[in-house]
Amino acid sequence: QVQLVESGGGLVQAGGSLRLSCALSGFTSDYYAIGWFRQAPEKGREGVSCLNMNDFTTYYPDSVKDRFIVSTEGAKRTVYLQMNNLKPEDTGLYYCAAEFFNPDFGTTCQVDGVDFWGRGTLVNVST
């Protein structure tokens, strides 16, 4: 059974850094992507990074490009999100999520493409 468990959230001052972790288990396919999404109060869920776990290509929206870095380690059991130069608008509940994809079509890295979600970890950036 696929499971994703986030950790590493907390309270940080603007300009600071946090590293989130997403522990993965139950994955048997070679074709999946791990996305990080966030949801601020009274806002929709938005993607902040995507890592194709087959070819390790990455995607970031402009809002976090050059500040956030997604990575994994050799065994692919954990995916990390390094967040630097944090801003108050980065505050929200951060989720990691898995999308299984057909290699002929690639991954969407969108909310609608997610197959499994973690429960989230809270990030609070103060001014």
Q: pLDDT (tens digit, 9 = 90+) per residue, 15-35?
A: 999 999 999 999 999 899 999
pLDDT at 26: 96
Per-residue pLDDT at 38: 98
d(CA 22, CA 14): 23
Mean pLDDT of 34-40: 98
Res 41: pLDDT: 87
- Residue 56 gets which letter from DSSP? -
- What is the percentage of the chain residues whose pLDDT exceeds 70? 100
* Amino acid present at 8: G
Residue 74: the pLDDT is: 86
Where do we find the tokens 């590293």? 19
> Would you state the pLDDT for residue 35?
98
Distance of CA 90 to the CA centre of its chain: 13
CA 102 → CA 28, 72, 99, distances in Å? 14, 21, 10
**Which residues make beta-bridge pairs with 59?**
50
The tens digit of pLDDT for each residue in 65-97 reads 999 999 999 888 999 999 999 999 999 999 999
- How far apart, in Å, do the first and last CA atoms of the chain sit? 40
pLDDT in the model for residue 43:
93
Average pLDDT over residues 30-53: 96
DSSP state of 88: G
